[in-house]
Amino acid sequence: KKEVITLAIETSCDETSVSVLKNGRRVLSNVIHSQIDQHKKFGGVVPEVASRQHIELINQIIETALKEAEVTFDDLTHVGVTYGPGLVGALLVGLSAGKAIALAKDIPLNGVNHIEGHIYANFIEHPELEPPFIALIVSGGHSHLVYMKDYGDYEILGRTRDDAAGEAFDKIARALELGYPGGPLIDKLAKEGNKDKIKFPRAFLEDNSFDFSFSGLKSAVLNYINTQKMKNEPIIVEDVAASFQQAVIDVLVHKTVQCAIDKKVKQVVLAGGVAANSGLRTNLIDKCKPYEIDVKYPSLNLCTDNAAMIGCVAYYEYIRGIRSGLDLNAIPNLKL
């Protein structure tokens, strides 16, 4: 059997990333350039700044990824590229680069859904992992509970009705004047705080619903901060961080375990930037143990945006015979 060499490109948000993979799960290179420093001063990602940065960087990052993998354009079997969801201008940079290589080298193009990529990060981290499993995908843009039955076969069990989990972390961090991105900062502070100090609401929604809602929690935390300020009472950021984080974790963990029980699945995987949260990881493992449900998650650099996870999806599409046309367009609100 001939080996498949995938070149993968990811530019959906503020990471310019290119990866080379061998047979889908072996990462030969995974170059990730984060633009965080360019966006920090604005307190969030500025779409136009992101697009321009991608344009400036994409060619040299492709070259670096090939070099690190010790391959040339002629060794590539196909190209995988994120075409949504994400920022349209940012997506178009990676997509155009991917199409150009596919056309010039006359090799197939595989468009990849970014959310699917987050799930597949687990296949790279855990070479023995196979579906079926429940995936909790929590990032800055999405919060989904998905039943992955087989490669390319998904059932969405729940999604957020308002803010994404990571978005809530970022907004609370901003209100506490901690900086951007908020998730890692709150994670760190929460370790020094008392999670039972402040009672924040947990939105479990209707019985049997696997949807999420974080806007009520966000308002409650913002109210707490404003009230303390008005009363001239101190705000212990460690306690606010710990109490807020626990409220998010309790809902995420409860619903994830419930999905696994419902679907009689013995594996759960975490995905997306918030999967880096240490409290979420340990709480989920604890709550899964009594049911003998195994919990897997990717290492930190595979949790946040990267091209290796995109390449893994592209590989499984390629071997199933799926091909994208060179007229593939960016779809900012692409669904799983």
Q: Does 309 bind ligand KG4 (CB under 6 A)?
A: no
**Distance of alpha carbon 289 from its chain centroid, rounded?**
25
| Neighbour-count burial of 291, counting CB atoms closer than 10 A to its CB (0-12 exposed, 13-18 middle, 19+ buried) | exposed
d(CA 296, CA 236): 33
Q: Does 187 bind ligand KG4 (CB under 6 A)?
A: yes
By CB under 6 A, residue 276 contacts ligand KG4: yes
Give the residue, chosen from 98, 140, 158, 298, that forms a contact with ligand KG4 under the rule CB under 6 A. Answer: 140
Smallest Cα–Cα separation from 156: which of 120, 111, 209?
Answer: 209
Of 76 and 190, the one with the shorter C-beta distance to ligand KG4 is: 190
Q: Which is closer to ligand KG4, CB of 94 or CB of 272?
A: 272
> Which entry of Zn ion, ligand KG4, none binds 274, CB below 5 to 8 A by partner kind?
ligand KG4
Binding residues for ligand KG4, rule CB under 6 A, total 19
Q: How far apart are CA 133 and CA 53, in angstroms?
A: 37
- What would the x/- binding string for Zn ion be over residues 136 to 155, using CB under 5 A? ---x----------------
- What phi and psi values does residue 212 have, to the nearest 5 degrees? -120, 160
8-27: contacts with ligand KG4 (CB under 6 A): 13
Residue from 80, 89, 94, 273 binding ligand KG4 (CB under 6 A): 273
Q: What is d(CA 327, CA 11) in angstroms, rounded to the nearest whole number?
A: 18
The residue (of 4 and 285) whose beta carbon lies closer to ligand KG4 is 285
Q: Which is nearer to ligand KG4, 69 or 186 (CB)?
A: 186
Question: Does 144 show up as a binding residue in the annotation?
Answer: no
Binding status of residue 147 toward ligand KG4 by CB under 6 A: no
For residue 303, what are the contacts with CB-CB under 8 A and spacing of at least 6? Answer: 121, 270, 271, 272, 273, 275, 276, 297
Question: Which does residue 276 bind out of Zn ion, ligand KG4, none, counting CB within 5 to 8 angstroms by kind?
Answer: ligand KG4
Q: Is 298 in the site for ligand KG4 (CB under 6 A)?
A: no
Closer to ligand KG4 by Cβ: residue 30 or 318: 30
97 vs 271, which CB is nearer to ligand KG4?
A: 271
Among residues 9, 305, 311, 312, the one that binds Zn ion under rule CB under 5 A: 305
Q: Are 165 and 212 in contact (CB under 8 A)?
A: yes
The answer to whether 193 contacts ligand KG4 (rule: CB under 6 A) is: no
Residues that bind ligand KG4 (CB under 6 A): 13, 139-141, 166, 169-170, 181-184, 187, 272-274, 276-277, 304-305
Known binding-site residue numbers: 114, 118, 137-141, 170, 183, 187, 277, 305
